[in-house]
Amino acid sequence: MCERHSVPAASAVAALPSRRRRLWELGHACHCPLIGVGLPLSVLRKLVDRVTGGKACADDYAIHVGAVTECASRNRLSEALQKELERRYASVLQHYRAARSVEQLASLWQQAIAAGDVAGAFWAALTHPRCTPILEEQLCRDLHMVQHQAGACVRADLGKFQTLSTAHAQLTQELHKAQQRHAALLAEKNAQASAHTTRLMQLQASLIGKDSLIASLQGQLQQLQHSIPGLESRTRLTQRLARMEQLQGDLRQQLAQARTLPAAGVPTQAGPARIPAPAPAPAPPPLDAGTPTAPALQQQAVLCVGGRSGNVATYRSLIEREGARFSHHDGGLEDNANRLDASLAAADLVICQTGCISHNAYWRVKEHCKRHGKRCVFIDNPSISSLARGLQLADSPAEQG
């Protein structure tokens, strides 16, 4: 700052002017702080270049000193500076017009110092009609101290600013790295989301296709079911036939095992599923029309369980010729198995042809005859001759139950 000049205090002021003073009418000691505080260097250089036609090539200090010197008189530069100060601080000048005394003007100046905004207040107070030489000197003193304090604050703030600038640079760099990571993660997530969306659409399309295929197949199945009459009954018969074939195979296997046993009519130890075969007996002479059977068959009810369906008529003729009453049950192949119990209860003699009955019928015959003490003859061959031999052996205790 330029050297501050003191203004001698006046003992008394006869009369104060009624209008505001111009820049060149102020004391020379006021020009230096006014130009330095009131106008930024860029604005000052612009005004100087405009007045000089762009010929000002000096540094900032020379520009400042030259402008302060020109303010001592009225000229193009001082008028330009006056106009700029009036324009820049028009609102402050309007506010200071309310001061009607020196004390009010001094109070407004103190308020400006407290608020830290002294540039416009300094210009408004210096040019105010109520500004006395004493107040003018006080204004210069106060501004001088404000500039010292501002310089100290600026130096302190400059250190803080440098520290904050360094921290800001570091944070900016870290922010940039974080933004790059965020952009990479966002791109990855977007790619994954896009892949998942595509996969979901594919699965939905596949599911819709499968549902359509299932509906089409169900429709075709219903059409086929309607086009085949009696399909349900045929299915049940096919299942029943499969079970009977399996049972027949088991019975044949059991019969083959039973034939290898040393004793006839004795179940094996493997379980009740094996059907014993009757013990071989001496072959009796074949029956003919003139050979009578044992008198025990007269008026007896003879039940024949099993045998070939084509031989039933021959069985009946043979047994009724001997004076017995004939009844037949196929062993559960076609006849109702529940009728077997009634037939067994009405019979006096039971001839069971083991090779042609079901497993269940065999055990029901055996259990019933044993429980009621009825005579029961087991034969493994459904031939006519085997039935004749069974009738001859009907009185043998070894063949009963």
Model confidence at 201: pLDDT above 80: yes
Strand 301-305's sheet: what is its strand order?
325-329, 301-305, 349-353, 375-379
Q: Which of 375, 365, 319, 359 is nearest to 344 (CA)?
A: 365
- Only one residue has tokens 């034939």, namely 259
Tell me the three state secondary structure of residue 352. Answer: strand
Last residue of a domain, one of 164, 182, 211: 164
123 confidence band (pLDDT: 50, 70, 90): very high
265 token code pair: 């009519």
153 confidence band (pLDDT: 50, 70, 90): low
**399 and 259 share a domain?**
yes
pLDDT score recorded for residue 152? 65
| Mean pLDDT of all residues in 212-219 | 91
Neighbour count for residue 139 (Cβ, 10 Å) = 23
- Asked whether residue 262 is assigned to any structural domain, the reply reads yes
Question: Domain range for residue 263?
Answer: 245-401
253 φ/ψ sector (left φ>0, alpha ψ -120 to 50, else beta): alpha
**254 and 114 share a domain?**
no
Which has more confidence, 151 or 83?
Answer: 83
Neighbour count for residue 344 (Cβ, 10 Å) = 22
Distance between CA atoms of 50 and 120, rounded to whole angstroms? 23
183 token code pair: 């952009």
**48 and 147 share a domain?**
yes
- Asked whether residue 108 is assigned to any structural domain, the reply reads yes
- Asked whether residue 232 is assigned to any structural domain, the reply reads no
How does pLDDT run across 333-355, given as a tens digit for each residue? 666 667 888 888 888 889 888 87
207 confidence band (pLDDT: 50, 70, 90): very high
- Asked whether residue 31 is assigned to any structural domain, the reply reads yes
24 confidence band (pLDDT: 50, 70, 90): very high
Model confidence at 291: pLDDT above 60: no
- Only one residue has tokens 């599923």, namely 273
**257 and 149 share a domain?**
no
The highest-confidence range among 53-57, 165-169, 281-285, by mean pLDDT, is: 165-169
| Domain harbouring 381, CATH code | 3.40.50.2300
Distance between CA atoms of 401 and 398, rounded to whole angstroms? 8
**256 and 120 share a domain?**
no
**160 and 269 share a domain?**
no
Last residue of a domain, one of 149, 164, 179: 164
pLDDT score recorded for residue 56? 63
316 token code pair: 């009946």
**303 and 397 share a domain?**
yes
- Asked whether residue 65 is assigned to any structural domain, the reply reads yes
| Mean pLDDT of all residues in 203-224 | 90
Distance between CA atoms of 396 and 316, rounded to whole angstroms? 22
Model confidence at 1: pLDDT above 50: no
pLDDT score recorded for residue 312? 84
Kindly report which listed range (12-26, 81-95, 172-186) carries the lowest average pLDDT score: 12-26
- Asked whether residue 202 is assigned to any structural domain, the reply reads no
Alpha helix (H) residue ranges in 228-337: 231-259, 312-321
- Number of domains within the chain: 2
Q: Quick one: CA dihedral 370, 374, 378, 382, positive or negative?
A: negative
Last residue of a domain, one of 164, 189, 204: 164
**135 and 251 share a domain?**
no
- Asked whether residue 191 is assigned to any structural domain, the reply reads no
- Asked whether residue 252 is assigned to any structural domain, the reply reads yes
**153 and 282 share a domain?**
no
How does pLDDT run across 58-115, given as a tens digit for each residue? 788 888 888 899 898 999 988 999 999 999 999 999 999 989 999 999 999 999 888 8
